[in-house]
Structure 1
Amino acid sequence: MEIPRTISNPVDGSTITFLKLPTETGGEYLQIEVTTMPHTGGPPMHYHPTATEQFEVQDGVLYVTVSGEEHVLSAGEKLVVPPGTPHTFRTEAEGSRVIGTVTPPGRFVEFLTSEYALMRAGKLGEGAEGDLLAIAPWIHEFRDVSRATGPINYLFAVLAPLGRVLGNPRIPAYPTEKDAVETKSSE
């Protein structure tokens, strides 16, 4: 699978740049730069079963809620979220630029690129709103990477097979430059 160095989210204008891929760190970690716009809602409350996630703010302010406690991070500040810990993040009046480090990375790169692919296809919106039959196969596939908190995981498990029968992929492909060139030439 070809991994673009930067992926973009048309829903909220954020971008993720892959600074260090697991293939470049001996599989030890993934490092990304996330640039968000003001008033970005972020994902629903979730946790990573096996990964530690570190947020290090470079510019702006990031609001991170961890196990019900809100942390306000400014430039130069960092926060580490251990595996299995419910958390979410958002921005308010100003956007942010954050270096994120995920250890161990597992399938986090695939998870992020397929999440942004769903957004680009109009199937996933801010706060995980969208086409449940398109989202369910994806989120169920990546339950080893990220899980929503609460009983919605059971709904995803039930809807995932139906979503796949209806043609929704478990791992949506993020469009590459090659895809864009092929699309333009076929128009």
Structure 2
Amino acid sequence: MGSTTKLEMDSTAETVTFGRTLVDGEPIDDGLTFPKDSPTVELLATATTPLFSNPQLGEYGAGLVTPEETDGAYTRGLGIFPPGADGPAEHVHPNYDETFEVVEGEFVIQLPGESRTLTAGESVTVETGTPHAFRNESESYASCIIEARPAGRLGDVIALLFGLAHDGKLTESGRPSFLQAMVMADEMGDDTVFTSPPPVVQNVLATVFSPIGRLLGYRATYPEYEDEAFWNARVEQLPDLS
């Protein structure tokens, strides 16, 4: 891959560029540029999955500890979000606690009755069933470690949404289509539930429309998005900096 070769040859550079969207092996956007010794790069170098990207929203993610490594006790990943990223709409996780630990930059965590701004080194744990949302209101990229305990299906959700983004199957606002969302709600309702519309309404809609979605080929997971080769072919990975 030409871009990786260039980075490897320029060993004296103080920064590293990665995460660019690849088409036929060639980068088509700017990707990410971080200092080589930044905590984000140091963490990413330890990732146990490829770097995922959502080119539509400019978001990135990678697994640091997979559920398989802990027998489902927990999972941990690194998320990188661009300036002004809204993050997901308010939601709850019915079966696990979720901890956010800021690595670089700052995040606003919205909790019932309060809004917290976290900076590097600060963390918050959102207990099971607590409505929450998060966003990056700053003017720079921000990264955080996200841990689910016990392990949920966070990795599956990220792979699905980011994969759909690469295939041009999200709406202009970066959401899945209605029928895709109904299949997800039906199969992943035990992992993530959005607070609007009310969950009872979502359940009725999912019960009615998810069978139609499946008949039309929609799935909650797609094998290609679980394949490392998919991401290595579409996202410029962090080069070896050792």
Shorter-chain TM-score tier: 0.7 to 0.9
Structure-1 residue corresponding to 2:53: 8
RMSD (Å) for aligned C-alpha atoms: 2.5
- Structure 1 spans left out of the alignment, 5+ residues: none
Change (3 A) 1:10 1:137: same
Describe the superposition over 1:119-165 as per-residue Cα deviations: whole angstroms up to 9, x where unpaired.
22333357663411122212321111101113252333432122112
- Structure 2 spans left out of the alignment, 5+ residues: 1-47, 235-242
Give the number of the structure whose alpha-carbon radius of gyration is greater: 2
Describe the superposition over 1:36-75 as per-residue Cα deviations: whole angstroms up to 9, x where unpaired.
1101111111010011000000110101101242111111
Does the Cα contact within 8 Å between 1:33 and 1:98 map onto a contact in 2? yes
Does the Cα contact within 8 Å between 1:44 and 1:128 map onto a contact in 2? no
Q: Distance in 2 between matches of 1:163 and 1:82?
A: 32
Tell me whether 1:165 sits opposite 2:211 in the alignment: no
Structure-2 residue corresponding to 1:34: 79
Change (3 A) 1:130 1:25: closer
Tell me whether 1:139 sits opposite 2:191 in the alignment: no
Partner-residue secondary structure (3-state), 1:50: coil
Tell me whether 1:153 sits opposite 2:199 in the alignment: no
Partner-residue secondary structure (3-state), 1:109: helix
Q: Distance in 2 between matches of 1:127 and 1:54?
A: 26
Say which of 33, 46, 59 aligns to 2:91: 46
Does the Cα contact within 8 Å between 1:13 and 1:36 map onto a contact in 2? yes
Partner-residue secondary structure (3-state), 2:214: helix
In the superposition, the TM-score normalised over structure 1's length comes to 0.85
Counting aligned pairs with the same residue, the percent is 32
Describe the superposition over 1:73-111 as per-residue Cα deviations: whole angstroms up to 9, x where unpaired.
111110100010111111122221101111001333222
Q: How many residue pairs align between the two structures?
A: 181
Tell me whether 1:94 sits opposite 2:144 in the alignment: no
